[in-house]
Amino acid sequence: MSLKTAFRETFSGFKSLLTGMRITAREAAKPSITVQYPHETLKMPERFRGHVKLILDPVTGKSRCTACNLCVRACPSDCIVVDGAKKDGEKKKSVTEYVLDFTTCSLCGSCVEACPSDAIEYSKDYNVVGLHREDFSHMDLVKKLEGESKVWAATHPEAAAAAAAAAPVAPPPPKPAAAQPAPVVPAPVSTAAAPAATAPTVPTPSVTTAGAQPQVPEPKTT
């Protein structure tokens, strides 16, 4: 090996050593990115698709879902069951039941795209676990939203009070009508014992015709 070749290899190795030390020093100066799972979790990116969930309206603290069933019709896996009812004083229906069968859901996104009220979205839950299959085949999204609504009301007392004041008040139930007294029906009067009234006898006047001689009674002879 010539002296020139040995010098070139030594210089190349020293250069590589400096490059490695520079990278190590740069990474050592960065803050720690270790996450103490499960006490800490990473924030999932916006494109992550978990199971669908109902969106909490930040103004009213309730769901935006009107139970129109468009998501049910759009689902190719037939894994959504929705039901709703129209409350007193409201113009639209409110969701009362939203059940998802996550065991057959393909996360295609057809339900999210078909929703006209923007009432559902993908959740960021990536560590969903359970001991029974029913925990995923019968996911009650309305019950989950009620838990979020309680937290929202506790952390936003002013907004919760404003939403309660703006909520329509149901009209009071009609009062029962006062009982009317039964009409008094007079007893029938029997006319069987009453004597029949006799019409008075009116003497009939004698009628004479024009040109006829009046009849004179003949005197009686004794």
SS3 3: helix
Architecture of the domain spanning 52-161: 2-Layer Sandwich (3.30)
Q: How many CB atoms lie within 10 A of CB 76?
A: 9
pLDDT in tens, the chain (222 residues): 688 888 888 888 889 999 999 999 998 888 878 888 888 888 888 889 999 999 998 888 889 999 999 999 999 999 999 999 988 878 888 899 999 999 999 999 999 999 999 999 999 888 888 888 888 999 999 999 998 888 888 887 877 777 776 665 555 556 666 656 666 666 665 555 544 555 555 555 544 444 455 555 555 555
Residues 54/139, Cβ–Cβ less than 8 Å = no
Residue 189 to residue 206: CA distance in whole angstroms = 43
Q: State if pTM tops 0.75.
A: no
* Terminal Cα distance for the chain, rounded: 208
Residue 59 to residue 53: CA distance in whole angstroms = 18
Q: CA angle, corner 109, sides to 104 and 112, nearest 5?
A: 115
| Domain ranges for the chain | 52-161
Instruction: Give residue 209's pLDDT.
Output: 47
Residue 21 to residue 59: CA distance in whole angstroms = 55
